[in-house]
Chains A and B, each alone.
Chain A
Amino acid sequence: MPSIAKPIVTHPSLEKNSLGLNLRAYEGAMSTLCAGCGHDSVTAAIIKAAWKLSLDPHMIGKFSGIGCSSKTPTYFVSGAHGFNSAHGRMPAIATGAAAANRKLIAIGVSGDGDSLSIGIGQMAHAIRRNLNMLYIIENNGVYGLTKGQFSASADIGTKSKKGDVNRVSPIDPVMFALSLGATFVARSFSGEKEQLVPIIEAGIKHKGLALIDVISPCVTFNDHEGSTKSYLYTRKHEYHVTDTNVIFPMDELIASIKVNGHTSVTMHDGSVIKFTRTPEGYDPRDRAKVFSYLEEHQKEGKVPTGILFIDESSSDMHEILGTTDEPLTQIPYETLCPGSKALDSLMAEFR
């Protein structure tokens, strides 16, 4: 193996957030990915967003499947529990953990192979349950860890490194999620940190499953000419449909920013997502319109990015299940067990 310098994922900043923590406190182990891999930039964006949101590290649960992308939870927030599960099974593991402890801030990282092939069933059903989690797909069009086979997100006509041309139709995680009733759908690009960080922040704030499809090029197997998931191709075809700022309740009080002229969505905790750019007639709350807008523009080979759709009014998994506000893990056994007397009187029903 060539010994190449591993990238430093963040540059240490001494600035402190409201918990008194600097960026360092949100870092993880040194990345072992290829130098230049898009996934490392996504990691850096997650670190930044978690720091900006002042998330309590030990309240974060990091979840992933298997793949280069799924390795990345080791590289951020080492003070959080992490669960690197099995290929395509991250959504179920996260669902169980979130069911047990609803106070955990669930951050899931997956790949296009992990989520769109072997794990497409679990991803679909996590979306349907509207599990309260951030669900990032680091989408590079290939299986990085098994050395460059086409994944299900590979576009028709895209070329593999060996020169094979993909002829089967791709699954677009954004359209897929929209069609399943996802309540937060975004797309971004690992090379667009300015855009990605606020999207991740909004995704974490969102009540329900926030799906972010991040085009994250694989420099080793899918960054050549003819690939539609290369840095060059993405830079050329990507454009911002929306730009957003997340305004926390505190900031609003201090700065009293006006949301004039633009769509803004209030999150369940009172913070506001302010869309500073949307095309004429585009409403990120109108699923059908978003769907047809994307269909139209993606057909032309464009890669629209930004927070594409948001619905803050739907129930999340815990509301649907009717679970108590307290984490189930914290309910004392004495409350859970009906006791001998209750069992005794129940026995009359079996006579």
Chain B
Amino acid sequence: MTGINDFALKLANVNGTGSASANGLLMQSMFRMGIPVAGKNLFPSNIQGLPTWYEIRVSKQGYGARALDYDLMVAMNGSTYARDITEVRSGGYVLYDSTWPLPSELHRDDVTFLGVPLAKMLTESVPEPKTRILLKNIMYTGSLAALLNLDMEIIEELIKEAYGKKQALLDVNRKALHQGYDYAKQHLACPLPFHCEGMDANGNKILIDGNTATALGAIWAGATVAAWYPITPATSVMDSFKAFSDKYRVDPVTKKNNFAFLQAEDELAAIGMVIGASWAGARSFTSTAGPGISLMNELIGLAYYAEIPAVIFDIQRTGPSTGMPTRTQQSDILECAYASHGDTKHILLFPSNPNECFHFAAKSFDLAEQFQTPVFMLSDLDIGMNDWVVDRLEWDDNYRPNRGRVLTSAELDEIKTYYRYSPEDENFVAARTLPGVNAKGSYFTRGSGHNRLGGYTESPAEYQEVMDRLTNKHKAAAKYVPAPIIERKEGATIGIITLGGCDLACREAIDILESDGVLVNYMRIRSFPFASEVERFIDEQDFCYILEQNRDAQLKSLLTLETRALKGKLQSILIYGGFPLSAKSVVEGIQHKLARQVHPDMKAGVITGE
């Protein structure tokens, strides 16, 4: 690759020094230049002082997966210089602070070093040391603007949007930006052979992270009660929900809130609040990550068995235990599919990008209320916390919530006796009633054994009858959940199956493989229970590669458990080191599998995706 609007750069920094805003500035300026761009934040679980990286991939073809070949390294962290410099491709560039000489042992002949005396220039012009640290980021952004031919007007505009009301801050930032820009223009060969040129690819696009989009989905779907316990990477769902609720949900006359925002004491309580609120008739949700799901297991079983809606956004991170909290994974699939003790089975949705987060978040409420059961939306850190370029979010004003079967007071007056779990409809769902509506609809919700009407039971036959209805209900949901996305290629006999954020890397890998003459069909699964198309697709293939980001092949396990697909027909490609996926890793994985088919005694490969 490498050329106009086709390159990758990586910025190495120390966290807590203000580099995040400079990273965002770079991304956003490229986005506003109309160029397809993707940013990945590789950050530590720490507040200040540890290494942090940000990668930006510019791709005129619109490939948004991680690139592993860096054309330019912005090496701003002395403690990771050695490693960062080795990551640049041969013929690439390193931008560094030349106030101090670069240790000679780090030198590479095949790489061009671009020095900008950032610290020196700042010491001369900025008296305050703390401000200097922050301004360093803006200064190298200026140099990058010159090197990469970024539109300075756009960058200035963005700085104005950020500091518009604080004139003094605006002035120093602008000054630093220009100092960096001018220095590069005068001393370095600007622009570099690869750089940006304005395009028009982003007309109908936005730059948004999945957690913000998820919160918007909850608001537009009419959710009113949010309960949670802080955890990375799920916290920003709630931060956004609160911020947008303050914006859209405060009564203009009374100034009171048309929402309740509950920071719980732990996840045991958070899910309890969601279940209590849903039971009382509100649309309610929580947002958490794997450790929270572990704690919620107990009450998820209660909601499943007592048939109470609940929406759970699981922003997955690297487990087990605390794992790597700031790294991404798809490792809660099985935990969520069968969450809780006893026989339980849940509805799962797998969004692949922030746009889908928005729509699936809203859909989660419809499904939870229609099927009176917990629904999990499994996002992850990569989708949730990174900014993605996606289609603008759009809302259909004809949408009305599907509240499922809920009896009104008038309907209750019509019937002789109300039973909570009978009669059931074609989807095996019975009508529920809400407290505070009509005494005739009162019933006793319990997690203990109940018969088809809702009365307490310890009878084997009565117990099994209800459990079997719950199985049928789960199966019935397959017709209502988002169907898989399938793309067939003429002549292809093998398939790649994946889910969630692996989408981008897989699609790019399929293109690369095709250019090498290998044709593959593609299916991205978007939900569980599996829609009928899932089984059909697997049937059509000679064999399938299941690509997912966990060690234990959880999607593959679910497919072998819940479809008639034969285990031998499904082969796993597992990349679970915690970084977002690159097409290169996928291609390597598939080529390796193909080679092993020809040479069965070849050693199994390990791809960490680093």
Contact = CB atoms under 8 A, between A and B. Distances in A.
User: Do A and B assemble together?
Assistant: yes
Interface of A: 57-59, 61, 63, 73-74, 78-86, 89, 91-101, 103-104, 121-122, 124-125, 321-325, 327-329, 331, 333, 335-340, 342-344, 346-347, 350-351
The 5 A-B residue pairs whose C-beta atoms are closest, nearest first, are A96-B276, A92-B272, A100-B282, A81-B435, A96-B273
Given A121-B265, A340-B396, A96 B299 contact: no
Contacts of B284: 96, 100
Contacts of A351: 31-32, 206-207
Interface stretch (B186-194, B219-227, B519-527, B576-584): B219-227
Nearest to B448: A84
Contacts of B404: none
B206 A347 contact: yes
B105 interface: no
A83 B262 contact: no
A325 B435 contact: no
A95 to B, nearest CB: 5
B439 A58 contact: yes
Given A323-B260, A333-B401, A338 B435 contact: no
A78 to B, nearest CB: 7
A95 B443 contact: no
Contacts of A336: 219, 222, 224, 249, 258
A98 B225 CA distance: 10
A99 B256 contact: no
Interface stretch (B9-17, B49-57, B96-104, B387-395): B387-395
A97 B260 CA distance: 11
Interface of B: 31-32, 206-208, 216, 219-222, 224-225, 227, 248-249, 251, 254, 256-262, 264-266, 268-282, 284, 298-299, 302, 392-397, 399-401, 433-439, 441-448
A336 B400 CA distance: 11
Contact of A101 (B435, B439, B441): B435
B279 A83 contact: yes
B206 A328 contact: no
Contact of A57 (B248, B399, B439, B446): B439
Given A97-B276, A322-B257, A336-B224, 15 more contacts: A82-B442, A85-B272, A85-B445, A92-B268, A100-B260, A100-B280, A101-B281, A122-B265, A321-B257, A322-B256, A336-B219, A342-B248, A346-B216, A347-B392, A350-B207
B283 to A, nearest CB: 8
21 contacts: A57-B442, A58-B436, A79-B439, A81-B444, A82-B442, A84-B447, A85-B272, A86-B298, A89-B299, A92-B272, A92-B276, A93-B275, A95-B273, A96-B280, A99-B225, A100-B277, A100-B280, A104-B436, A329-B434, A351-B32, A351-B206
A57 B264 CA distance: 29
- Chain A interface secondary structure, helix, strand, loop or mixed? helix
Contacts of A335: 258
A122 B441 CA distance: 29
Contacts of A104: 280, 435-436
Nearest to A83: B445
B401 A331 contact: no
Contacts of B399: 337
A262 to B, nearest CB: 37
B342 to A, nearest CB: 13
B300 to A, nearest CB: 10
A217 B275 CA distance: 32
Given A80-B442, A95-B269, A328 B260 contact: yes
A327 B394 CA distance: 29
B260 A121 contact: no
Contacts of B206: 347, 350-351
